[in-house]
């Protein structure tokens, strides 16, 4: 490589002029993702069920110089999701982050919990992605501008684990959706990838990992020997959302401290 062919890399991580939508953006991983995208220059639409959390997080991002708007919405309400996303002026990036887990033994899973998790983790993610891609395709400059879909899945979309049968099923499904969308939408210059975190240090995880025995089990499975931070996940999303990842689609970026490498 000659010096004349060396091109700067860092500008490719900027998102100036892009509009991004993040679901589940009120707290935890979603809030960190919204903050990272805003820091990189994106206009961020934050969507979540709890308006109070949205407003608190949006205030912090604005105080740091970011540009965000908020949208209180239950992502399992398909009609509302389609109406709100369809009403945006344009959309370049969608981060499908809303989701949950209810750990319990396979034989004790109730129909109520099964339906709730499948509706939120799979069906809602599909509807959000579909509505977002429809909005992206309205842009007459899409062929050159490109679009990005990022599904937040889990390391549990690649392995199995006791007490998490429904969650594993949901996240494996979303990994499959990611790959199928990537192949189908590549001709429209829309990239589709997933980010698969390990256990992240959030209030939700702390409420689940509530004993020393559970903590020791987790740390024994993570070669890096710690939980991930929300910033670890946000950094991975920022890369995939940016032009720096222009040739990356259909990929699963695992941020799991080595869990799935074993």
Domains along the chain with CATH numbers: 14-202+230-252 (3.40.50.720)
- pLDDT tens-digit profile, the chain (262 residues): 455 678 899 999 999 999 999 999 999 999 999 999 999 999 999 999 999 999 999 999 999 999 999 999 999 999 999 999 999 999 999 999 999 999 999 999 999 999 999 999 999 999 999 999 999 999 987 777 899 999 999 999 999 999 999 999 999 999 999 999 999 999 999 999 999 999 999 887 888 788 888 888 888 999 999 999 999 999 999 999 999 999 999 999 999 999 999 9
The torsion angle over the Cα atoms of residues 111, 116, 120 and 122, rounded to 10 degrees, is 0
Q: Catalytic residue numbers?
A: 167, 171
Distance from C-alpha of 249 to C-alpha of 112, rounded to nearest angstrom: 35
CA nearest to 194, candidates 146, 239, 143: 239
Q: DSSP character for 20? A: E
CB of 124 closer than 8 Å to CB of 98: yes
């Amino acid at each position: 490589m000659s010096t004349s062919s060396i091109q700067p890399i860092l500008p490719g991580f900027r998102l100036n002029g892009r509009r991004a939508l993040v679901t589940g953006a009120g707290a935890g991983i979603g809030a960190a993702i919204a903050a990272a995208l805003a820091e990189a220059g994106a206009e961020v639409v934050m969507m979540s069920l709890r308006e109070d959390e949205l407003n608190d997080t949006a205030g912090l991002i604005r105080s740091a110089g970011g540009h965000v708007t908020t949208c209180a919405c239950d992502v399992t309400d398909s009609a509302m999701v389609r109406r709100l996303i369809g009403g945006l002026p344009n959309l370049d990036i969608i981060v499908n982050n809303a989701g949950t887990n209810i750990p319990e033994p396979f034989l004790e899973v109730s129909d109520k919990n099964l339906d709730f998790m499948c509706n939120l983790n799979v069906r809602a993610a599909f509807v959000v992605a579909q509505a977002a891609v429809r909005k992206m395709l309205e842009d007459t400059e899409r062929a050159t501008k490109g679009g990005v879909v990022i599904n937040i899945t889990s390391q549990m979309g690649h392995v199995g684990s006791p007490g998490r049968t429904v969650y594993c099923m949901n996240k494996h499904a979303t990994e499959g959706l990611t790959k199928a969308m990537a192949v189908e939408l590549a001709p429209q210059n829309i990239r589709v990838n997933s980010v698969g975190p390990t256990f992240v240090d959030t209030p939700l995880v702390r409420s689940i990992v509530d004993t020393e025995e559970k903590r020791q089990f987790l740390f024994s499975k993570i070669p890096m020997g710690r939980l991930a931070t929300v910033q670890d996940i946000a950094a991975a999303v920022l890369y995939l959302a940016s032009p720096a990842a222009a040739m990356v689609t259909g990929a699963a970026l695992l941020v799991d401290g080595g869990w799935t490498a074993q």
